């Protein structure tokens, strides 16, 4: 045990102090998850963290607050004013230092601002929300093998931005931001406590921010909004919650929906969702070869519109000597908004042209009969809403969004998931 600035500390306890500064506060179990970076924490590892926290509390560097049983077991731990100032010295944070707050550190150098203690403090009146956000950060660290890295991320003290509107200065403050393949995604922790009107207001804040930066360069351009819900929500109304969030998103942000993809996932599937987004381009590239697996042996697809990142793949399949069918093919998350927008683009731009003339030789005598929407997926079957009528949406927009659910089929990249189920 070494003495640092008069305190009895080890490299381990210094690391715990650093984590409490970077992430503002968490439970002992969450500290153990961060420190050991594994999916399975042993009882001895967790007890070791408790012992270290007790020593830090005794030295006046850390304090705790008992949590309500409905939130979590035990207590939330965070730095005292002395612990906060000491840890800033430990990380060589200069007085008045500015920072972007991106984590993990770059070659061991932490990008930390010299914030006031009052600003640093975790939101002790919103501990359930804060601790769920910590669970999300833990997923980023413990999933580093699946994602090849700890995705760059920062919390809302750094993600908050001020912008000017006709009504004066306002603030845009997502719960967190992450970078996936260099693209910016905001993170919204959703405990299903916000009403439809509150969701509308949340998205209005996004719209106001996007409106105020409409003429900016691509720097910090928003690519997506990731809603993360509790794992138990999967068995307790996740489709209804998604329907509510998606409807509010389209009501307010439809004009930006070609740029911003709304994605929803449960906490236990964060790693899978982020991995999908990392590999989206690769998955899109597999569709053409997978079409042969999807179609019956006596049918062959002819690619009309090669797939780009923003457009779906459009194929044509002759179903007789005189008729052909069009295929709209795309990959999608279990819950995402982009699939609807790409289908609307297909309906407006490509379908009218391909219904009257196919740009292939010797097809002049074939007639269009119908089209089929085929959504490909790696693991979780996409959820497609067939109606938005309950949310009083613009009638024309509601009709456009509902079209995707008609003539719809799914095909997984995993052959096992395509096998018929018998009971």
In which element (H, E) is residue 373 found? strand 367-377
Burial of 295 (0-12, 13-18, 19+ CB in 10 A): middle
Nearest to 28 by CA among 15, 47, 11: 47
pLDDT of residue 108: 78
pLDDT of residue 226: 99
pLDDT of residue 305: 75
Tell me the backbone φ, ψ of residue 94, rounded to 5 degrees: -80, 155
Give the number of residues written for the chain.
423
Please check the confidence at residue 413 and state whether its pLDDT lies above 70. Answer: yes
- Judge whether 195 and 247 are in contact, CB under 8 Å: no
Locate the domains of the chain by residue range. 287-418
Note the helical H segments in 213-300.
238-253, 270-278, 280-294
- Judge whether 120 and 24 are in contact, CB under 8 Å: yes
Strand-strand pairing, 222-229 and 261-266: parallel
- Judge whether 398 and 388 are in contact, CB under 8 Å: yes
User: Could you tell me which residue, 297 or 305, shows the higher pLDDT?
Assistant: 297
Nearest to 137 by CA among 183, 178, 185: 178
Per the prediction, the chain carries an average pLDDT of 90
% pLDDT > 90, the chain: 65
Distance separating the N- and C-terminal Cα atoms of the chain: 62
How many Cα atoms occupy the beta-carbon half-sphere of 313 within 13 Å? 23
How far is residue 60 CA from its own chain's centroid?
Answer: 38
pLDDT of residue 218: 63
Please check the confidence at residue 107 and state whether its pLDDT lies above 80. Answer: no
Please check the confidence at residue 309 and state whether its pLDDT lies above 50. Answer: yes
Tell me the backbone φ, ψ of residue 16, rounded to 5 degrees: -65, -40
Which one-letter DSSP state was computed for residue 254?
Answer: G
Please check the confidence at residue 173 and state whether its pLDDT lies above 50. Answer: yes
pLDDT of residue 219: 60
- Structure tokens given for 140: 């980023």
- Write b or e for each residue in 65-95: b if 16 or more Cβ atoms lie within 10 A of its Cβ, otherwise e: eebeeebbeebbbbbbeebbebbbebbebee
Identify whether 309 is preceded by a cis peptide bond (ω within 30 of 0): no
Burial of 48 (0-12, 13-18, 19+ CB in 10 A): middle
Q: How far apart are CA 316 and CA 335, in angstroms?
A: 27
Q: Among 21-25, 181-185, 284-288, name the one with the lowest average pLDDT.
A: 284-288
Mean pLDDT of all residues in 385-414: 88
- Structure tokens given for 268: 């236990």
pLDDT of residue 139: 94
Which among 98-112, 297-311, 335-349 has the top mean pLDDT? 335-349
Q: How far apart are CA 168 and CA 165, in angstroms?
A: 5
Please check the confidence at residue 416 and state whether its pLDDT lies above 90. Answer: no
Note the helical H segments in 143-217.
144-147, 156-159, 196-212
Which among 60-74, 263-277, 289-303, 362-376 has the top mean pLDDT? 263-277
- Write b or e for each residue in 211-245: b if 16 or more Cβ atoms lie within 10 A of its Cβ, otherwise e: ebbeeeeeeeebbbbbbbbbeebbeeebeebbbbb
Q: Given pLDDT bands bounded at 50, 70 and 90, which one contains residue 117?
A: very high
Helix-helix angle 11-23:81-90, to 10 degrees: 110
How many Cα atoms occupy the beta-carbon half-sphere of 188 within 13 Å? 21
Q: How far apart are CA 148 and CA 334, in angstroms?
A: 22
pLDDT of residue 307: 64
Mean pLDDT of all residues in 264-273: 96
Q: Among 76-85, 260-269, 342-351, name the one with the lowest average pLDDT.
A: 342-351
Tell me the DSSP string of 324-369: EEEEEEEE--SSBSHHHHHHHHIIIIIHHHHHH--SSTT-TT-EEE
- Judge whether 226 and 277 are in contact, CB under 8 Å: no
User: Could you tell me which residue, 170 or 140, shows the higher pLDDT?
Assistant: 140
Mean pLDDT of all residues in 304-317: 81
Please check the confidence at residue 2 and state whether its pLDDT lies above 70. Answer: no
Please check the confidence at residue 421 and state whether its pLDDT lies above 60. Answer: no
The string of pLDDT tens digits covering residues 29-52 is 999 999 998 778 888 999 999 999
Q: Which residues pair with 76 in a beta bridge?
A: 65
pLDDT of residue 143: 84
pLDDT of residue 152: 95
- Structure tokens given for 362: 């010797």
Q: How far apart are CA 238 and CA 241, in angstroms?
A: 5
pLDDT of residue 423: 39
The pTM assigned to this predicted structure is 0.93
Please check the confidence at residue 124 and state whether its pLDDT lies above 90. Answer: yes
């Amino acid at each position: 045990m070494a003495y640092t600035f008069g305190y009895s500390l080890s490299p381990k306890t210094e690391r715990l102090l650093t984590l409490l500064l970077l992430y503002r506060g968490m439970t002992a179990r969450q500290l153990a998850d961060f420190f050991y970076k594994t999916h399975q924490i042993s009882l001895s590892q967790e007890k070791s963290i408790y012992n270290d926290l007790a020593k830090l509390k005794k030295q006046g560097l850390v304090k705790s607050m008992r949590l309500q049983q409905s939130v979590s077991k035990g207590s939330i731990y965070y730095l005292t004013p002395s612990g906060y100032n000491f840890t800033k010295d430990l990380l060589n944070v200069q007085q008045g230092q500015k920072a972007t707050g991106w984590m993990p550190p770059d070659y061991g150098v932490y990008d930390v601002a010299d914030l006031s203690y009052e600003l640093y403090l975790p939101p002790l009146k919103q501990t359930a929300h804060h601790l769920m956000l910590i669970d999300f950060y833990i997923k980023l660290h413990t999933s580093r093998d699946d994602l090849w890295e700890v995705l760059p991320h920062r919390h809302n003290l750094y993600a908050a931005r001020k912008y000017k509107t006709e009504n004066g200065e306002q603030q845009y403050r997502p719960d967190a931001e992450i970078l996936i393949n260099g693209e910016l995604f905001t993170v919204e922790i959703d405990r299903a406590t916000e009403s439809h009107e509150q969701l509308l207001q949340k998205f209005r804040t996004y719209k106001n921010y996007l409106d105020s930066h409409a003429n900016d360069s691509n720097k910090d351009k928003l690519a997506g909004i990731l809603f993360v819900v509790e794992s138990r929500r999967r068995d307790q109304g996740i489709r209804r919650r998604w329907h509510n969030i998606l409807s509010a998103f389209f009501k307010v942000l439809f004009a930006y929906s070609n740029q911003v993809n709304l994605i929803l996932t449960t906490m236990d599937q964060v790693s899978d969702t982020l991995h999908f987004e990392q590999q989206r381009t690769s998955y899109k590239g597999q569709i053409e070869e997978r079409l042969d697996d999807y179609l019956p042996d006596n049918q062959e697809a002819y690619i009309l519109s090669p797939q780009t990142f923003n457009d779906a793949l459009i194929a044509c399949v002759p179903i007789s000597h005189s008729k052909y069918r069009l295929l709209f093919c795309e990959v999608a998350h279990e819950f995402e908004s982009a699939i609807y927008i790409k289908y609307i683009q297909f309906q407006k731009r490509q379908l009218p042209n391909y219904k009257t003339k196919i740009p292939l030789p010797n097809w002049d005598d074939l007639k269009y009969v119908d089209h089929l929407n085929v959504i490909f997926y790696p693991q979780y079957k996409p959820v497609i809403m067939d109606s938005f009528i309950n949310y009083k949406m613009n009638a024309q927009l509601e009709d456009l969004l509902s079209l995707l659910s008609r003539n719809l089929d799914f095909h997984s990249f995993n052959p096992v998931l395509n096998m018929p189920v018998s009971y």
